[in-house]
Amino acid sequence: MIRMTNVSKVYNTGSIKFEALREVNIEIKEREFCAVVGPSGSGKSTLMNIIGCLDDCTTGEYFLRGTSVANMTQNQLADVRNQTIGFVFQSFNLLPYATAEENVEVPLLFAGKSRKLRLERCRHLLERVGLADKMKNRPTEMSGGEMQRVAIARSLANDPPLILADEPTGNLDTRTGGAIVDLFNELHDEGRTIIMITHDPNIAAKLPRQIYMQDGALVDKLRIAS
């Protein structure tokens, strides 16, 4: 699914260069479920943004399902982000004035699906995440756990094989976060590849694979617990 060779990322802020990723080599196979763990600033989100084709690497090569991302056109990248990858973020990133249903509909609109299909799909996905009775609620009318369920339903809109989640339980209490992890486990059982950044060592320990990051590099084990 994912192969990176010697991927580095340098951010330029004014005249200051900062190397956020250093020579990352990684392979993640289809149907893996990985936790990405590491201290704040270690490069987890930077890595995730590159995996998600939201940002590019400075040097090195990244292959997504065998295709070099650097060689993709803007249109191809937009298609990949819409069809191949589902995104879930810590702060949910929902449209504040749109209902749950309208939020889930967004990727379907971009994909050019008919209104009938969009509405069927939104209803199905919101039922699936346990929000059948909240379809018309706006984010301000939902709990954090419910908002994250809407975000997960949205990430599934176009049935992507890969789900990227950046601290999806970071704003939730332990019990609500646990329910969100259960949902990711179900999505994994269905055959999806899932990469999840988490600060929670208890959550990370329960996942099949852990990827540890420190100072922009992948390490076998963390020197200091985060």
Ligand X SMILES: Nc1ncnc2c1ncn2[C@@H]1O[C@H](COP(=O)(O)OP(=O)(O)OP(=O)(O)O)[C@@H](O)[C@H]1O
Tokens coding 102? 């309208």
158 contacts 110 by C-beta, under 8 angstroms = no
Q: Measuring CA to CA, how many Å separate 35 from each of 32, 58, 101, 122, 179?
A: 10, 24, 29, 28, 16
Q: How far apart are CA 192 and CA 185, in angstroms?
A: 10
CA angle, 83 as apex, 195 and 73 as ends, to 5°?
A: 100
> Given candidates 33, 34, 37, 45, which one binds ligand X under the rule CB under 6 A?
45
Minimum distance from CB of 42 to ligand X (Å)? 4
Among 28, 44, 57, 142, the residue binding ligand X under the rule CB under 6 A is 44
Q: Give yes or no for residue 140 binding ligand X (CB under 6 A).
A: no
Q: Tell me if 43 contacts ligand X by CB under 6 A.
A: yes
Strand order in the sheet with 193-197: 85-89, 162-166, 193-197, 33-37, 209-214, 217-219
d(CA 38, CA 223): 10
Tell the smallest beta-carbon distance from residue 185 to ligand X (Å): 23
Q: Rule CB under 6 A: is residue 41 a binding residue for ligand X?
A: yes
42 near ligand X, rule: CB under 6 A: yes
In whole angstroms, the minimum distance from the beta carbon of 92 to ligand X comes to 15
Distant-in-sequence, close-in-space partners of 61: CB < 8 Å, separation ≥ 6:
4, 5, 6, 7, 68, 70
In the complex, least distance from residue 92 CB atom to Mg ion, rounded to whole angstroms:
15
d(CA 204, CA 11): 28
Q: Residue from 6, 17, 18, 93 that binds ligand X (CB under 6 A)?
A: 18
- What x-and-dash track marks residues 20-39 binding ligand X by CB under 6 A? x-----------------x-
**Closest approach of Mg ion to the CB of residue 42, in Å:** 9
According to DSSP, the β-strands at 193-197 and 209-214 are unpaired
Restricting to residues 170-189, name those near ligand X by CB under 6 A: none
148 sits near ligand X (criterion: CB under 6 A) = no
Choose between 161 and 170: whose C-beta lies nearer to Mg ion: 170
- The CA R_g of the chain, rounded to the nearest whole Å, is 18
Does the protein bind Mg ion through residue 45 (CB under 5 A)?
yes
Q: Is 40 in the site for ligand X (CB under 6 A)?
A: yes
> Of ligand X, Mg ion, none, which one does residue 170 interact with (CB within 5 to 8 Å by kind)?
none
Q: Is position 198 an interface residue for ligand X (rule: CB under 6 A)?
A: no
| Binding residues for Mg ion (CB under 5 A) | 45
| Binding residues for ligand X (CB under 6 A) | 11, 13, 18, 20, 38, 40-46
